[in-house]
């Protein structure tokens, strides 16, 4: 399709995988506070603290993601796999959460997984593009992120209105991260030149 930017196929695969995983995240983004206050019975303050804890672990994740993705022992690909797996575990933890500690643990893990993701993705995009292509490539990955969230919020609302199964949202979110893990594992190659050169 001529109207699309000419980017390496791995950039498109990474964006597509992220779109799928963010559809799952969109399922929970808007409805998690409602569920944990109205059905689990946590206070609004507790839910706010729990969700806010993801920002703290996200900062730590960013530092880890940058360090790991540049490391010849980890690299971009393994860092992305780690991010997807942590995020999947976080989603399943939230799916079974019945109290504040489990809720906080799930959010801390989710923040960590998200934080690890971004430096690795930005490094992969930088590796696979020229300076002239980079802005378009970054825009594609961020657009897929936002588009996935938007689709997920709409689909999550439809699922809740028809079934009322809030916990299913978190299960779907976890599955979406496992799908993203599969996309990375099978379709994304290592782009860290210090690793590919030695191998």
Q: Calculate mean pLDDT across residues 19-35.
A: 90
Per-residue pLDDT, 167: 96
Burial (CB count within 10 angstroms: exposed 0-12, middle 13-18, buried 19+), residue 163: exposed
The pTM for the full model equals 0.92
Contact 116, 61 (CB under 8 A): yes
Per-residue pLDDT, 63: 98
Residue 196: band (very low, low, confident or very high) from pLDDT cuts 50, 70, 90: low
Per-residue pLDDT reduced to its tens digit, 88-130? 999 999 999 999 999 999 999 999 999 999 999 999 999 999 9
Site of tokens 């030149």? 193
CATH architecture of 9-190: Up-down Bundle (1.20)
Per-residue pLDDT, 6: 82
Which H or E element spans position 5? Answer: none
Give me the residue spans of the domains in the chain: 9-190
Residue 194: band (very low, low, confident or very high) from pLDDT cuts 50, 70, 90: confident
Q: Calculate mean pLDDT across residues 70-86.
A: 95
Report residue 142 CA to chain centroid gap.
12
Residue 178 contacts by C-beta under 8 Å, 6 or more apart in sequence? 84, 88
Per-residue pLDDT, 198: 55
Lowest mean pLDDT among 1-15, 126-140, 145-159: 1-15
| Cα–Cα distance for residue pair 129/191, rounded to 1 Å | 11
CA-derived radius of gyration, the chain = 17
């Amino acid at each position: 399709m001529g109207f699309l930017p000419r980017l390496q196929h791995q950039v498109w695969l990474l964006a597509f995988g992220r779109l799928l995983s963010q559809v799952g995240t969109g399922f929970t983004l808007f409805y998690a506070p409602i569920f944990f206050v109205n059905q689990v019975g946590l206070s609004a303050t507790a839910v706010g603290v729990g969700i806010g804890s993801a920002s703290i672990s996200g900062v730590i994740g960013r530092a880890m993601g940058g360090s790991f993705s540049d490391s010849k022992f980890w690299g971009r690909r393994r860092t992305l796999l780690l991010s997807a797996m942590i995020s999947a575990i976080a989603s399943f933890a939230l799916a079974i959460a019945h109290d504040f500690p489990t809720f906080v643990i799930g959010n801390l893990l989710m923040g960590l997984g998200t934080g690890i993701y971004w430096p690795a993705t930005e490094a992969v995009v930088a590796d696979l593009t020229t300076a002239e292509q980079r802005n378009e490539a970054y825009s594609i990955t961020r657009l897929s992120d936002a588009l996935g969230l938007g689709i997920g919020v709409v689909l999550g609302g439809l699922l809740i209105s028809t079934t009322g199964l809030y916990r299913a949202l978190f299960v779907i979110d976890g599955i979406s991260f496992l799908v993203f893990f599969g996309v990375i594992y099978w379709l994304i190659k290592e782009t860290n030149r210090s690793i590919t050169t030695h191998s």
